[in-house]
Every structure is written in C-alpha cells, then in structure tokens.
Structure 1
Amino acid sequence: MKLNNRVAVITGAGSGIGRATALAMARRGARLALADVDGDGVAATAHEAAALGAHATHHVLDVTDRAAVAGFPAVVRAVHGKVDLLMNNAGVALGGTFEQVGETDFDWLMDVNFGAVVRMTRAFLPLLHASDDARIVNVSSIYGIIAPPGQAAYAASKFAVRGFSNVLRHELAGTTVGVSVVHPGGVATKIAQSARAPVGATAEQVEQRRRTTQKMLRMPPAQAGEIIVRGIERRAPRILVGGDAKAAALLERLAPTGYWNLLKKAIKR
C-alpha cells in the first residue's frame, strides 16, 4: 500500500504508538487527521508531522462519545476530502484480577478499548468503501494473544479487538478495504503510568504492579511506529511488534492452554 497522499485517521495520536505511527506515515507523505482526548498532545503530534512536510489536522475527540464519533467523518471529509486509512489506536489500561476490578471500571475500559473500535469503524466504513485502496488498522496487544492473570479487563478488550478485526477481514474480502490487527509487545509508552488502579488496591500494590509492567516496556515508540507502518505497506493481516510479541504468539500456538506455566518459569529467570 502506497501511503503518499493517502488520508489516514489515527485515534490516540497524542502520544505513544499513535504519535509514532503518525510520524512514520508523515515521512511517507500521508495526509493525517489526528484525534485524541488530549488536545495539547495531539496538537504537538500534528506540529511534528507538519515539520516533516505532512498536511496534518488535529482534533479533540472522546472516542466514547457516540455523537462525536458519528459526526467525525464529516469533519475529516470537509478538511481532507476523503479517508483511505483508519487506525483505531486509542486505548487505556486497568490492572487487577476480575474479582478486584469493579463493574464500572471494567465497562469503562471495554468502552474505550473495544466499543470505540466498533463505533469508529461503523462511522468511517462508508468513506473507506469510497476509496480505491483503503485499510482499517486496529491496535490490539500482546494481551490479545496471551492472557496473563491480573489483566482480566484489558485482555478481554484486546481479544475482542482481535476477533472483531478477523471477522471484518473475512467480511470485507473482495472489497477495496483491507484489515490489519496490530499486536504490540512491550513498547515504552506511558500506558502503565496512566493505568487506572482497581478499587481496593493499596498504593503499594499499585506501585509494584506499575514497576513490574514498566520493566517490560522497552521498545522505543518510534521503532514500533515504523514496524506498524511497514506492516500496513505490506498489507499484513497481522502485525506483531517486537520479539516478545512474536515469541508469545509462537508459544500460544504450541501450547494454547499451557503457555502460562512456561511463561511463569521464564519470567522468574
């Protein structure tokens, strides 16, 4: 897929993987409609993209706001004229076992991580169908491949993104719209620092969990962004980001119900 002069909509573009992917696309001549709930962050990303020569607009968007999402395609079309690529990247984190995580927090995370993917896809699909070469890129996680304890809500949302993406790919086969699902491993974003803590967890438990998670987030976002964009250019149906994601995918295939016992031993080492 040639990204030059293609219009890409990216959610969660204010930082992390969203920003890195936007800049990687900017370097390839894509035109960008960048969205995030963080207005300052997404404006900074647009400024960096413009410095690379890209035409980039930035938009404050809460992906849980149904009316705002439904109206967003018209906003993008008015500025850019078309849409060729939709990257559903916005996401949040919430640590804790199923029994620790309350219903309200669980529903909040599912609404951001999965519900928004469905809403954005439904809203933009008519514009994508109008393109001669379009793609939907949904960001899942390594936890959409493996399901470690303490990630009940997060893993549920990312497995849902994976399943939804696979169904879409099958349903859209034969059209001009392709689908990629992205599984990042440990990318050094702020997701662990900004993760919501479960009700009832002590400050010590929360800090310990964040420290443990942060140690696994090693890949620079810029590197992850390049891997993702190269996958898009190859029209890859699944994009594994990092050696840890590749290893997890292989281990899950070899031991679909017993991989966690093997991983626990590796983590202890």
Structure 2
Amino acid sequence: MKVSNKEKIKLVMDINFYGTLYMTKSFLPHLLERPVGHITNVSSMGGFLPVPGQSIYGASKAAVKLLTEGLSAELKDTNINVTVVFPGGVGTNIMQNSGVDRSRNKEASEEDMAKLLTPKEAAEIIVQGTENDEYRVLAGKDSKLLDKMYRLSPKRASELIAKKMN
C-alpha cells in the first residue's frame, strides 16, 4: 500500500505533535490534583535546527518544543514542573525508519553509530533532568554542541547539518 505525501505529513504530525498534546491534556487534570507533578516532552535537535529531508519531522518537533515551553509558562504557579528534551543521536532504528538514505556512506554511518548514546544513556540523562526540574535537557554531546552553535549562528549550523547529510 503506497502512502501519499499528505498522509505521511498527517502521520508524522499525529504521532509527534498531536500524540504529545493529547497525552499531556489527558494527564494534566490528574497531575494538578497531586501534591507535585512533572511533564516531560521529547522534542528533537530537529526541533531547533533544520535537517534537510526532514522538514515535516522538524516542524512536528518544533511544535512539541513550543507546546512544552508554553505549558511551562502557563503552569508556573502550579505544582507541575515542565521539561522539554532535545536528544541528539541515540542508537535506535530511527534512521532506518526516517527515510534518510545512509547507504552511500556506510563506513561513516558505522563510525557515527559508535558516537551515539545508547538508549539507556539517553534515558538516564532524561530522567536526571526531570528529577532536577530542568527546563531544557540536551541529551548527548551532539545536541549540546549543535544547540550552542545554532544559538550563535543559525545559518552556519544549518549549513553544517546540510553538509553532513550529504
């Protein structure tokens, strides 16, 4: 079954943005009744830095970023803390499932895989950030580096990612 571009866009937005939104809306009333609560939403480096070929994914994760930051402001006088997470590269199947063609440079992709966080390492960083009530969690050296670079020079950071993707 071939999926149209319109259906792919809807699927990405449904999962990444609307899934996060509706899950948050479902739990929020219950969290407000508790003595303390915490909402942690996972965005992506693609939520603050454009990645060629992943514009819809990035837009969905940017929406998660802004939703979460907005929630933080709206809930500031409540018992609920809010954290947004920007994971860098994590050794999962996301690249295979994303549609990005890595076959042209298999050697580099194996080298890159060795630099990725393991899922366990990423989870530990996220849990620690949540426990410390951090506003933003940058999981991984790549996420921290690209966040700083993007803040200093968005165009240069975008060009670096585009070059790396080629």
**What TM-score, normalized by structure 1, do the two folds share?**
0.54
Q: What is the distance in 2 between the residues matched to 1:137 and 1:181?
A: 6
Alpha-carbon distance, 1:110 to partner? 0.5
Amino acid at match of 1:179: V
Structure 1 102/264 Cα, relative in aligned 2: closer, same or farther at 3 Å?
Answer: closer
Of 97, 114, 125 in structure 1, the residue corresponding to residue 17 of structure 2 is 114
Q: In the alignment, is the contact (CA less than 8 A) between 2:83 and 2:133 conserved in 1? A: yes
For residue 151 of structure 2, the aligned residue among 205, 228, 253 is 253
Q: Equivalents in 2 of 1:264, 1:118: separation in Å?
A: 30
Q: Measure, in 1, the Cα distance between the counterparts of 2:105 and 2:8.
A: 18
| Count of residues paired in the alignment | 159
* Structure 2 counterpart SS, 1:194: helix
Gaps of 5+ in 1: 1-100, 198-204
Task: Give the helix-richer structure, 1 or 2.
Answer: 2
Instruction: Give the gaps of 5 or more residues in structure 2.
Output: none
The 1:210/1:240 distance shift into structure 2, 3 A limit, reads: farther
Relative CO higher for 1 or 2, CA cutoff 8 Å, sep ≥ 6?
2
Q: What pairs up with 1:154-233 in 2 under 5 angstroms? A: 154-195=57-98, 197=99, 206=101, 208=103, 216-217=112-113, 218-233=116-131
For 1:127 and 1:241, how far apart are their aligned partners in 2? 28
Which TM-score applies when normalising by structure 2? Answer: 0.86
Letter in 2 for 1:189: T
Instruction: Indicate conservation of the 8 Å contact 2:52/2:162, yes or no.
Output: no
Aligned position for 2:47? 144
State which structure, 1 or 2, has the greater radius of gyration over its C-alpha atoms.
1
The residue matched to 1:183 in structure 2 has which SS?
strand
SS in 2 for 1:236: coil
CA distance in 2, matches of 1:158, 1:105: 15
Paired position in structure 1 for 2:140: 242
Q: 1:257 to 1:161 in 2, by over 3 A?
A: same
**Percent identical residues:** 36
Aligned-residue CA RMSD in angstroms? 2.4
Contact residue 185 and residue 245 of structure 1 kept, 8 A: yes
Separation (CA, whole Å) in 1 of partners of 2:105 and 2:41: 25
Q: Which AA in structure 2 matches 1:170? A: A
